[in-house]
């Protein structure tokens, strides 16, 4: 005995169930009501989803703006502090540098500032490279 094809088996099963069970009576407008309910449900879900996404976007933008202002304020305060510290250092160090370096004293302060700026700029990248290099060994 050979097995029937799956599609033939499904057809035979549907016919047998149709003979054994009677289909329930449903109103003729059931399909229209079901389609309308599904479309209203989808619209409500989409509207709710859109409102939630808009609210999340506003919250994220507010958070970004607060962080941006905090970073700008921190940068400004740091810049101000460094400028005052550099001015005080120059005032204190200038007499000593003039006594030891003569006319090259102001140039020494300028090159010291350049060296400090380069060191601050490249400190973190060089540190990362050195850590990776030491971990590889």
CB under 8 Å to 94, separation ≥6 — which residues? 105, 106, 109
Average confidence (pLDDT) over 57-80: 92
Asked whether the predicted pLDDT for residue 60 surpasses 80, the reply is yes
CB under 8 Å to 101, separation ≥6 — which residues? 108
Predicted confidence (pLDDT) per residue in 74-108, tens digit: 999 999 998 898 889 888 888 888 888 888 888 88
Asked whether the predicted pLDDT for residue 4 surpasses 70, the reply is no
102: left (phi over 0), alpha (psi -120 to 50) or beta: left
Residue 10 located in a structural domain = no
Cα separation values, 101 from 92, 107, 109, Å: 15, 10, 11
Report the chain's mean pLDDT, rounded to a whole number. 84
Residue 106 located in a structural domain = yes
Residue 90 located in a structural domain = yes
CA diameter of the chain = 115
If one counts the domains in the chain, the total is 1
- Domain containing 46 equals 37-136
Residue 42 located in a structural domain = yes
Residue 128 located in a structural domain = yes
Residue 109 located in a structural domain = yes
Residue 6 located in a structural domain = no
Residue 29 located in a structural domain = no
């Amino acid at each position: 005995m050979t097995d029937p094809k799956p599609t033939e088996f499904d057809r035979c099963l549907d016919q047998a169930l149709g003979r054994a069970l009677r289909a329930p009576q449903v109103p003729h407008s059931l399909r229209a009501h079901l389609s309308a309910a599904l479309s209203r449900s989808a619209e409500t879900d989409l509207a709710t989803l859109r409102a939630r996404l808009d609210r999340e976007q506003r919250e994220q933008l507010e958070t970004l703006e607060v962080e941006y202002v905090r970073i700008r304020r921190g940068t400004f305060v740091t810049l101000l502090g460094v400028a005052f510290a550099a001015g005080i250092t120059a005032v204190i160090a200038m007499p000593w540098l003039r006594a030891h370096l003569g006319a090259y004293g102001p140039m020494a302060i300028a090159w010291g500032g350049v060296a400090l700026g380069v060191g601050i700029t490249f400190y973190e990248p060089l540190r990362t490279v050195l850590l990776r290099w030491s971990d590889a060994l």
